[in-house]
Amino acid sequence: MTVLVGLYPWIKALHVIAVIAWMAGLFYLPRLFVYHAESVTRGTETDTLFQTMERKLLKLIMTPSMIVTWIFGLMLVSIPGVVDWSEGWPWLKAVAVIGMTAFHGWCAGQRKRFAGQGETLTGRRYRLMNEVPTLFLLVIVVAVIVKPF
């Protein structure tokens, strides 16, 4: 743990970088789903292109960023004095991060549906789902910065 104390600024910086990359993907993938659902006919060259973009975004950017976010986040909370678990804000953040991780899983499932393993939602529904990461982001940032309780 004493090693982590000395590395705190680096751990925090890498955590924030990973969060930004993960959030970018969480904002973009549902938007790709909107366009895919509304404008693309299954089995076409464009369908294949969208599937490739969605798969690569998820596998090469989002999932690694999520894993790195979790690793460095857990390292941060294990540093003595960084988080006071008797307060409410870290629990609120934890619930929101778990929710965001579940949303990531939902996105992965939707990607598989576009790959031909099930029915997809409407573009309108994907538009609504595109707002979910924003809500989680608001809760997390307010919990960490404002520490309302």
pLDDT at 91 (0 to 100): 97
Q: Is 122 helix (H, G, I), strand (E, B) or coil?
A: coil
pLDDT at 1 (0 to 100): 65
Q: Is 144 exposed, middle or buried (0-12, 13-18, 19+ CB in 10 A)?
A: middle
Amino acid at 143: A
pLDDT at 108 (0 to 100): 97
Residue 107 to residue 31: CA distance in whole angstroms: 11
Q: Is 45 helix (H, G, I), strand (E, B) or coil?
A: helix
Q: Is 41 helix (H, G, I), strand (E, B) or coil?
A: coil
Residue 116 and residue 42 in contact, taking contact as beta carbons nearer than 8 Å: yes
Q: Is 47 exposed, middle or buried (0-12, 13-18, 19+ CB in 10 A)?
A: middle
- Residue 118 lies in domain: 2-145
Q: Is the dihedral of CA 10, 13, 19, 21 positive or negative?
A: negative
How would residue 118 be classed by pLDDT, with cut points 50, 70 and 90? confident
Q: What is the mean pLDDT of residues 19-40?
A: 97
pTM over 0.75, yes/no: yes
Residue 4 to residue 80: CA distance in whole angstroms: 9
pLDDT digits (tens, 9 = 90+) for 71-117: 999 999 999 999 999 999 999 999 999 999 999 999 999 999 999 87
pLDDT digits (tens, 9 = 90+) for 1-28: 678 888 999 999 999 999 999 999 999 9
What single-letter DSSP state applies at residue 109? Answer: H
pLDDT at 48 (0 to 100): 96
Overall number of domains in the chain: 1
Residue 140 and residue 90 in contact, taking contact as beta carbons nearer than 8 Å: no
